[in-house]
Amino acid sequence: MRGPNSPRVPRRLSRAVLALLACCVLAVPAAWAADAAPEKEGWFSRELKRFKSYPHLDMAYRKLEQNKPAEAVAEFQKYLAMSPADADAREGLAQVLADQGRPEEALTVLEDGLKLSPDNPRLRLTRAYVLARMNRPAQAGEDFRAVMASAKDERTVSQARRGLAALLISQSRWQDALDLLKQEPADAQVQAWRGQALNGLGRHDLAEEAFAKASGDALTGPARVVVLTTWAQSRAARGNLAGARDLLEQARQLAGDTPEILLALADNAARRGDNATAVSLARLAATKNPKDREALANVLSLAGEQREAGDIYAALFDAAKSPADRARLGQKLGYALFAQGRYEDAARVYEQAVAADPSPSAPNSAALEGWAVTMERLGKPEQAAALLERAYGGKADAPALMRMAGLKAKAGQPAQAAALLERALAGNLTPQARQEALLTLGEAYSQAGQPAQAVEAWEKAQVQTPRDAALAA
């Protein structure tokens, strides 16, 4: 049961030692017991309490070895009631509670210990892990950094550094994690984390090398499954869908049909065009975990089954309470309705998704763009252009500006279209896109009654294609 980072376990007291201690206790003159209790606990009282508490600690570890964590927790608690200053036992109890899905209780155990021993790095390190598990990254990171700065032994410092690196990866802070991992020996676990970080940075070739080094026999069980699934993501990002599928199948052999692996395989199948397999795998994942219905709908949508995907999204959208959930699900439902040709319904849902999360600093740009495309399809280009302006928030790149210009031209606003195209031409465009922008700019100026500017734009376009007879005319 106990891993390499588990707390130290006291040697079990042999029966002979227990008997000897019992004899010593029985030999104490009875007159001592009749005396008034001293104001402070004496040596003998402390040793007697310790003698009485050790069997509970011994039994706690016995229960862990027997895979009876609930009984182990009870024995730990009895022991700590008698010996509250034992930091190792507190660390052990906290680990068991956290593994049992009781992180709040684990946190209380650790904080009680830190009140008695505020400078104990092991307790603070374990608290950092518990806080990370409770999705409190800021506090967890603070504890990890404090341990790195104060711990005296390199083993504890290394564990804190690795814990912080894993936390940074979970926050998508890829470069920070890589910088931190440079201080650690490049064992299999570190290589696995490096692969994840490099994959997040889009450096897929280096990620492939790191994953290959991590995939040896040094990593087994759940850690190996994580490496295989993340490695599969890296391969998929490089377009190697067949290689990604092979890695996911290896993970499936190790972990079984977990919803996460089934959904990853379903997504892979859909991207390879094997829609029947994708839908079958996604349905199987949803039967194992009903909470994965959104993921099932994602795969159905990717496989072109928009009607069924839309039905699932609609049920989830109607039941959603938080603004973030309604914004996300509304955007997906809007797309499914649009793909079915239900443009009026799609526009209504997109509007609800945008209203659900109206933050001006971070607008729901995906829903706004979907709404804009829908309004264009409904023959309302002016509203579509206004929605795109909201989506980009003044940060539109050159292609986006060209798109908005096209909508302004459709709305009968050539002067505004020309202004947007001039801004687009000042940005980064491919030669083909630049020529298209110049041609469209000439048309916009012509419609706006500015023939000189129109001719100038067309002449610039002709420089790139001098043999274009239609353009010359």
The predicted pLDDT at position 288 comes to 82
- Evaluate whether 270 touches 239 at the Cβ level (below 8 Å): no
Question: Using one digit for the tens of pLDDT, what is the confidence trace for 38-74?
Answer: 445 555 455 555 556 678 788 888 888 888 989 988 9
Amino acid at 274: D
Provide the pLDDT confidence category of residue 208 given band limits of 50, 70 and 90: confident
> Per-residue pLDDT for 29 more than 60?
no
The predicted pLDDT at position 20 comes to 30
Task: State what percent of residues in the chain have pLDDT above 70.
Answer: 84
Question: Using one digit for the tens of pLDDT, what is the confidence trace for 143-169?
Answer: 999 999 999 999 999 999 999 999 999
Q: Residue 351 CB: number of other CB atoms within 10 A?
A: 18
Provide the pLDDT confidence category of residue 4 given band limits of 50, 70 and 90: very low
Q: Distance between CA atoms of 7 and 1, rounded to whole angstroms?
A: 12
Find the helix or strand (DSSP H, E) in which 323 lies.
helix 323-339
The predicted pLDDT at position 22 comes to 31
Question: Using one digit for the tens of pLDDT, what is the confidence trace for 323-373?
Answer: 888 999 999 999 999 999 999 999 999 999 998 876 655 566 888 999 999
Question: Using one digit for the tens of pLDDT, what is the confidence trace for 282-325?
Answer: 889 888 887 778 888 998 898 888 999 999 999 999 999 888 88
CATH: 3.30.470.10, 1.10.1060.10, 3.20.20.80, 1.25.40.10. Which one for 305-395?
1.25.40.10
What is the DSSP secondary structure assignment for residue 18, as one 8-state letter?
H
Locus of tokens 């068991």 = 96
What integer is the mean pLDDT of 207-225?
Answer: 80
At a CB cut-off of 8 Å and minimum separation 6, what does 444 contact? 405, 409, 414, 415, 417, 418, 421, 454
What integer is the mean pLDDT of 17-33?
Answer: 32
Has this prediction a pTM greater than 0.85? no
Q: Distance between CA atoms of 258 and 410, rounded to whole angstroms?
A: 50
- Evaluate whether 96 touches 126 at the Cβ level (below 8 Å): no
Output the six-digit token pair for 265: 């395989």
The predicted pLDDT at position 303 comes to 85
What is the DSSP secondary structure assignment for residue 36, as one 8-state letter?
P
Question: Using one digit for the tens of pLDDT, what is the confidence trace for 113-140?
Answer: 999 999 899 999 999 999 998 889 999 9
Among 56, 57, 42, smallest CA distance to 7 is for 57
Q: Where in the chain is the domain with CATH 1.25.40.10?
A: 1-171, 305-395, 403-473
CATH architecture assigned to 403-473: Alpha Horseshoe (1.25)
Question: Using one digit for the tens of pLDDT, what is the confidence trace for 256-287?
Answer: 999 889 999 999 998 899 989 998 998 898 88
Q: Residue 433 CB: number of other CB atoms within 10 A?
A: 16
CATH 1.25.40.10 assigned to 1-171:
yes
Among 395, 360, 353, smallest CA distance to 374 is for 353
What is the DSSP secondary structure assignment for residue 184, as one 8-state letter?
S
List Cα–Cα distances, 52 to 31, 39, 71, 106, 143, in angstroms. Answer: 21, 21, 18, 24, 34
Q: Distance between CA atoms of 275 and 302, rounded to whole angstroms?
A: 8
The predicted pLDDT at position 49 comes to 56
At a CB cut-off of 8 Å and minimum separation 6, what does 216 contact? 188
User: Coil, helix or strand for 449?
Assistant: coil
The predicted pLDDT at position 1 comes to 38
What is the largest distance, in Å, between two alpha-carbon atoms of the chain? Answer: 122
Task: State what percent of residues in the chain have pLDDT above 90.
Answer: 41
Q: Distance between CA atoms of 417 and 440, rounded to whole angstroms?
A: 9
Angle at 183 (CA atoms; ends 177, 188), nearest 5 degrees = 75
> Per-residue pLDDT for 237 more than 50?
yes
Is the model more confident about 398 or about 380?
380
Angle at 312 (CA atoms; ends 306, 316), nearest 5 degrees = 135
